C-alpha cells in the first residue's frame, strides 16, 4: 500500500493519506499480463457487479482504473483480441489464446482514458473478500435491455 504526502498552503507539512494498492493480473494462460494500481486499494475499493448482458455473459466484475494506472507487460494490450457490439465504441478485451475476459477499454468513451478491468483477472485475489456494488446496466445503460444474441446477423454471417 502506498501513501503520499503533500505540503500545506502555509508552508508546513500536511500529510494527506492517499492509499493505493498495485495488483498483478492477466489471462489464464499467461499470454496477457498487466498490473493495476487502485485507489483506494482492496477491500475498500468497491467492485461493480453489473447485470447487463455483456457483464453477465463474460463474467465481468469491474474496477475502473485510469489508463495511466494500468501497466501492460510485454505489449499485452496490443496482444488482446477485442469484440465491439452495440455502439461499437468500446473494446471488450480478451486473450486470443485462452479466451479469458480481461475487461473493457473506454478510450473513445470517456474524456480521460479509462479501463474497466475484470477483477477476476487479478492473481491471488479472493473474490469472496471484496466489497461489491450492484449495477443495473439492463435498465440504465442505453439502449436498455438484454442485448445478448442480438449482434450476430445470421443471414450475413457477421456481426451487425
CATH topology of domain 19-123: 2.170.150
Judged against a pLDDT cut of 90, whether residue 23 lies above it is answered with yes
Is the pLDDT confidence value at 5 over 50?
Answer: no
Domain ranges of the chain: 19-123
The mean predicted confidence, pLDDT, of the chain is: 86
Pick from 51-65, 81-95, 111-125: least confident: 81-95
- Percentage of the chain lying above the pLDDT 70 cut: 79
Asked if pLDDT for residue 12 goes beyond 70, the answer is no
pLDDT over threshold 70, residue 147 = no
Q: Give the CA angle between residues 134, 90, 115 to the nearest 5°.
A: 60
Residue of 126, 111, 124, 70 whose CA lies nearest to 93: 70
Mean pLDDT of 62-79: 98
Higher pLDDT pick, 108 / 46: 46
Euclidean distance between CA atoms 20 and 30, whole angstroms:
25
**Is the pLDDT at 119 greater than 80, yes or no?**
yes
For residue 68, pLDDT over 80 is answered with yes
- Of residues 160 and 120, the one with the higher pLDDT is 120
Amino acid at each position: 500500500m502506498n501513501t503520499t504526502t503533500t505540503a500545506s498552503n502555509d508552508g508546513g507539512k500536511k500529510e494527506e493519506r492517499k492509499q493505493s494498492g498495485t495488483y498483478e493480473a492477466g489471462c489464464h494462460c499467461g499470454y496477457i499480463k498487466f498490473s493495476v494500481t487502485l485507489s483506494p486499494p482492496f477491500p475498500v475499493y468497491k467492485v461493480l457487479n453489473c447485470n447487463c448482458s455483456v457483464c453477465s455473459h463474460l463474467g465481468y466484475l469491474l474496477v475502473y482504473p485510469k489508463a495511466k494506472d494500468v501497466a501492460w507487460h510485454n505489449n499485452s494490450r496490443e496482444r488482446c483480441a477485442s469484440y465491439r457490439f452495440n455502439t461499437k465504441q468500446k473494446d471488450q478485451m480478451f486473450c486470443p489464446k485462452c479466451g479469458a475476459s480481461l475487461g473493457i477499454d473506454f478510450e473513445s468513451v470517456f474524456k480521460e482514458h479509462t479501463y474497466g478491468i475484470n477483477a477476476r483477472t487479478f492473481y491471488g485475489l479472493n473474490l469472496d473478500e471484496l466489497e461489491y456494488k450492484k449495477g443495473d446496466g439492463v435498465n440504465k445503460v442505453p439502449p436498455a435491455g438484454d442485448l445478448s444474441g442480438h449482434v450476430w446477423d445470421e443471414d450475413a454471417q457477421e456481426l451487425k
